[in-house]
Structure 1
Amino acid sequence: MLRLRNLTCGYGRTPVVHGVDLEVGADEVVAVMGHNGAGKTTLLRAVVGLIPVMSGSIELDGEAVNRRPANKRVKAGMAYVPQGQQCFAHLTAGENLRLVADGRKSGKALIDAQLDLFPALRPLLGRQAGLLSGGQRQQLAIARALITEPRLLILDEPTEGIQPNVVAEIESTIVDLAGRGGLSVLLVEQHLGFALQAASRFAVLRSGRVASTGGTGAGAVERVREAMAI
């Protein structure tokens, strides 16, 4: 679904990510981990087209998307949930969802489908998004992204600052969605337990380079800790 080949990217003339190779298969969840400043968010921003690629390639379903603007990548099947439970704070939760659903043939059905995934949002549809808890805003942000019917969902630190019970709900939802088929997930996460439970494979970034990769089965925690030197 997604293939990064020798990807280098950054800001201005300063590279932050250096020569990264990474793949996300169809219906697969892959976690990217690393300390703050390792280049995780920069990597995601390059994938979705928010910063330019300095060298290397980004392929979505076998097609190079390096030169496509962010909106074209969304149309091609990417959806991005940035760090920080971002939403339109002055709009209600329902208006946040309708903003994305309006104009789509089955907009109401798409909203209903996301509310089935995140039932805690149903009684909150009339409340301003800025008044929701961090966990509620994160569920809203993911639901809003899923309304675009992506083939690749890209999540940046979805558990940051969220209570444990909501973390478990988000993890369960991600695993369930990928298990249904038709959706791959690229996940940036520092919560080691969440990342290794939700994903089937991992990559650890250190100073913008891939320090370790592998499956999330037996021994994964030790390999990740060693790569992160923790």
Structure 2
Amino acid sequence: MLRIEELAAGYDRSRVLHGVSLEVPEDGVAAVLGHNGAGKSTLLRAALGLLRPMAGRVWFEGEDITRLPAHRRVRRGMAYVPQGQQSFPQLTAMENLRLVADGRADGRAALAEALDLFPALRTLGTRRAGLLSGGQRQQLAIARALITRPRLLLLDEPTEGIQPSVVADIQRTVIELSGRGGLSVLLVEQHVGFALRAAQRYYVLEAGRITSSGSGEDGAEETVREALRV
């Protein structure tokens, strides 16, 4: 679904990523794990086209998209949920969702499916997004991305800084989505157990380089924790 080859990227003249290569399986999940500052968010931004690579290639569904701008990648089926539970705070939760759904031929059905995945949003629909908890805003952000019916979902630390009960809901939803078919996920996470349960493939990123990779099989958690020294 997504293949990144020898990618170098950063800001101005400062390189953050150094020769990163990884693959996201079709209808599956690839997880990128690493400490703060390892370059995980930079990797997602480069994959979406928000950062122009300094070197390397990005392939999506067999097409070289290295030079495509972000909006054209979105049209091809990519969706991005950045860190920070982003929303339009003055709009209600439902208004946030309808901003994406309105104008789409399948918008009503896509909205209903997103609410089925996050049923708590039905009861919060009339509340302003700025008054929601961090976990509720994160559910809203993921639901909004899913309304676009992406082929590839880029998730940046979806469980960071939110209450444990909502973490469980988000983990369940990501694992459920990855098992349905028709959607691939590139997941940036620090919760090792969740990432390996969800992912068919994992990559450990350290100081902008892949230092370890493998499949999410039995024994992988010990290997990853050793690589991360946690």
**For the superposition of Structure 1 and Structure 2, which TM-score range results when normalised by the shorter chain?**
over 0.9
Q: Tell me, in whole angstroms, the C-alpha distance in 2 between the residues paired with 1:17 and 1:141.
A: 27
The CA distance in 2 between the partners of 1:40 and 1:176, in whole Å, is 23
Structure 1: stretches of 5+ with no match in the other structure: none
Aligned-residue sequence identity (percent) comes to: 65
C-alpha distance in 2, partners of 1:227/1:185?
A: 23
- Residue aligning to 2:23: 23
In the TM superposition, what whole-angstrom CA distance separates every residue of 1:125-184 from its partner, at most 9, and x where no partner exists? 111001011111000000000011100000000001111221111111111112111000
Q: Distance in 2 between matches of 1:109 and 1:126?
A: 20
* Cross-structure match for 1:167: 167
Query: What is residue 84 of structure 2 aligned with on the other side?
Result: 84
Partner SS state of residue 193, structure 2: helix
| Structure 2: distance between partners of 1:117 and 1:192 | 23
2:197 is aligned to: 197
Paired AA for residue 118 in structure 2: F
Query: Distance between the aligned counterparts of 1:216 and 1:110, measured in 2?
Result: 30
Stretches (4+) displaced over 6 A: none
Task: Name the residue aligned to 1:93.
Answer: 93
Determine the C-alpha separation between the residues in 1 that align with 2:219 and 2:107: 44
Map residues 1-230 of structure 1 onto 2, 5 A cutoff. Answer: 1-230=1-230
AA at the equivalent of 1:22? L
Q: Counterpart of 2:2 in structure 1: which amino acid?
A: L
Distance in 2 separating the partners of 1:114 and 1:185: 16
Shift of 1:86: 0.7
**In the TM superposition, what is the alpha-carbon distance from 1:107 to its structure 2 partner?**
1.2
Cα distance per residue 1:9-35 (max 9 Å; x no partner): 000111100101100011111110001
Tell me the amino acid that sits aligned with residue 95 of structure 1: E
Aligned residues: 230
Give 1:229 shift: 2.6
Q: Which moved more, 1:21-30 or 1:219-228?
A: 219-228
TM-score (ref. length: structure 1) = 0.98
Q: For residue 41 of structure 2, what is the amino acid of its counterpart?
A: T
Runs of 5+ consecutive residues of structure 2 not aligned to the other structure: none
Aligned-residue RMSD, C-alpha: 0.9
Moved more, 125-134 or 220-229: 220-229
Question: How many angstroms does 1:207 deviate by?
Answer: 0.6
TM-score with structure 2 setting the length:
0.98
